Structure formats: C-alpha cells, structure tokens
C-alpha cells in the first residue's frame, strides 16, 4: 500500500524499530568489547605495578642516617693528596725537559702516573665520580679508573728498566687491568657475588706479584749491576702497595669496618708510596737510568797526538826536542 496508509505506517514503524534494535545490538557488542579491552589493560597495569612493587621490596634502600659519607676530615686528606700529586707532577715535568732523549720514556711514565693521580684526587675533592654501594657506603669509582691507568704504567716502567720481553710486559699490564676490574666489581655488588669477585681478584694478584718478584727480577739480574738495585726498590714499593690494597678493601668497602675518612687516609699513603716515591726513586737513580736507557757511562777520549808520539821510558831513547820551548807556551 501507500506510505500514508495504516498498514504502511505500521510497516514503516516496524522497520524503524528493527533498525534501532540492530543499532543498539551493535552498540552493545562494541561496548562489551571495549569494556573487555579496558579490563585487560587494567589487568596488565596491575601486573606491572605488582612486579615493580615486588622488585622495590627486594631492593635494600639506604636511609640517610645509615649512609657512610666522607666528612671534612676526609676532604682534608683529599686536598693533601691533590697537592702532593700536583707538586710531584710539576717537578717531574721540569726534570723531563733536562733529561736525555733516551731516558725520557721513564720520565713520561712518572709524569703520567702522578698527573692521573692529581686528577683523581681533584675529582674526589670536588665531590664528583662517586656512588652509594649496596652496604650504604660512599664509593669513589674514579679511584678504580686511576688504577686502570697508573698500575699498567708502573708495570711498563718496571719492565723497561728490567729489560723484560715485550710479551711478558704486556701480560703483566693486562693482569693489572683484570685486578682493578675485579676489585671494582666487588666494591659495587653485595652478598655472595661480592666475595666471589674479591676472590677472583686475589687469584689474579698472585701471578702478577710472581711476575714482578721473579720474572722481571731475573731479567734485571742479567743487566748492569746498578739496575737490579734500582729495580729492587721499585719492586718493593709496588708489591707493598699491591699486597696492602686487598686488606684496605676488606676492612673498608668489604666489611665496612673503617670509616670513609680513614679509608681515604690509608689509600693516600699507599698512593704516595706507589706513585710519588716510585717516580722519584726511578728518575733520581742516574747511573741505573743511563744503563737502562742504553747510554754509555764514559765517553772514549782520543789521546792527543803529542801523547801518541812520546815513547814510554826504558824502551826507546828520547829523541831531541826539535822545536824551541817557546813554541809550546
């Protein structure tokens, strides 16, 4: 029928209801799907928050009252170490300008050892390059950067003085790097892993000490007699610092028995012995340095012509002087 008849109106109304119900059904399904998506998102966020809370509960948080920090006493020791390293570096640089070309490599080693130490103490004095360890202790990690540079340089200077093979020198320098790395990893970790790193550092320390005390010394014994004497002084300075460093680490960063101030004092004394005293003993041993650099001790003096013509007494008669005495005056 037509659109304005009762039957048409009823049919049109039914069609409109059917379309509305279809739209409502689609909207309802979309709402259900959106609600499920929102619920899944909330569930994922809840799981992530729960995981983060669990991790946060497993991490030990240090209270401010429990932190072991460096005070003004420690800063005084750092300032003293900075001044000693700076003055020593200045003297080494001035002496290196007067040194012969063959000996400057030893002066350069001494200069770089003390200048790196000077930079390290200035960084610690200015409050830089430190972190808080798991045992709530302030740790200057720049000290280990210093050791990674200065310890191989000391081994290089000792190997050159002893005349050791290049492969042996490189091996000992690599052992020094491994020792510093193991000590640093032990300082920044805790629990069983901490002491495992400490044990690995001790394992590396033993062959390094054997190389310094035996292999390098055997090479030095085969050179000029003045070289073993110098090498013995340098070796004991280095060995004493290397042997005492694990003890200092054990009572400071290991067991936290010593305060950070006392730790800085002990390390400063070790640095003065292994860096400053090491450099002065090395560059002030002139005879040993000359022999280590391959310089001749005495230059050959050519005899004068008059001495070559003068015969020895009792072998030939003296020839009469043919020139007047005034010619020699």
The token pair at 322 is: 């043919």
Rounded CA-CA distance 135/172 in Å is 32
Q: Quick one: pLDDT at residue 125?
A: 97
- Nearest C-alpha neighbor of 280 from the set 122, 149, 180, 157: 157
The position carrying tokens 């200048």 is 115
- pLDDT (tens digit per residue) in 15-44: 545 555 555 554 454 554 555 555 455 545
The token pair at 46 is: 């809840």
Q: Quick one: pLDDT at residue 19?
A: 54
Rounded CA-CA distance 173/179 in Å is 10
3: which DSSP letter?
T
The token pair at 283 is: 């560059």
Over range 70-87, report the average pLDDT: 98
- pLDDT (tens digit per residue) in 130-163: 999 999 999 999 999 999 999 999 999 999 999 9
Rounded CA-CA distance 292/161 in Å is 5
Maximum alpha-carbon separation in the chain: 169
Distances (CA, A) of 47 to 33, 34, 43, 59: 21, 20, 6, 19
**Which pTM was predicted?**
0.74
Q: Long-range contacts made by residues 102-105, C-beta under 8 angstroms, separation at least 24?
A: 102/293, 102/294, 102/295, 103/289, 103/290, 103/292, 103/293, 103/295, 105/160, 105/293
More confident residue, 246 or 300: 246
| Distant-in-sequence, close-in-space partners of 41: CB < 8 Å, separation ≥ 6 | none
């Amino acid at each position: 029928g037509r659109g304005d008849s009762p039957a048409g109106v009823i049919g049109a109304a039914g069609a409109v209801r059917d379309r509305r119900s279809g739209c409502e059904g689609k909207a309802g399904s979309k709402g259900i799907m959106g609600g499920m998506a929102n619920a899944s998102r909330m569930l994922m966020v809840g799981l992530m928050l729960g995981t983060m809370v669990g991790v946060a509960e497993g991490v030990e948080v240090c209270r401010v009252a429990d932190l072991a920090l460096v005070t003004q006493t420690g800063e005084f020791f750092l300032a003293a170490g900075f001044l000693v390293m700076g003055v020593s570096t200045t003297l080494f640089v001035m002496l290196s300008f007067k040194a012969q070309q063959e000996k400057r490599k030893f002066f350069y080693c001494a200069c770089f050892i003390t200048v790196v130490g000077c930079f390290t103490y200035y960084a610690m004095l200015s409050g830089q390059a430190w972190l808080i360890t798991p045992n709530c202790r302030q740790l200057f990690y720049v000290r280990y950067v210093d050791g990674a540079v200065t310890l191989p340089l000391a081994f290089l200077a000792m190997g050159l003085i002893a005349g050791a093979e290049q492969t042996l020198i490189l091996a000992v320098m690599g052992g020094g790097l491994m020792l510093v790395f193991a000590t640093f990893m032990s300082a920044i970790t805790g629990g069983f892993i901490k002491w495992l790193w400490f044990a690995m550092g001790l394992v590396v320390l033993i062959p390094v000490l054997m190389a310094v005390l035996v292999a390098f010394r055997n090479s030095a014994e085969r050179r000029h007699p003045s070289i073993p004497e110098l090498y013995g002084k340098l070796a004991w300075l280095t060995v004493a610092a290397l042997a005492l460093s694990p003890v200092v680490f054990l009572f400071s960063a290991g067991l936290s028995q010593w305060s950070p101030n006392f730790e800085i004092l002990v390390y400063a004394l070790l640095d003065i012995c292994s860096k400053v005293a090491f450099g002065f003993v090395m560059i002030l041993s002139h005879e040993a340095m000359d022999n280590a650099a391959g310089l001749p001790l005495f230059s050959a003096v050519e005899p004068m012509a008059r001495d070559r013509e003068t015969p020895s007494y009792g072998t030939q008669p003296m020839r009469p002087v043919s020139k007047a005495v005034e010619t020699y005056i």
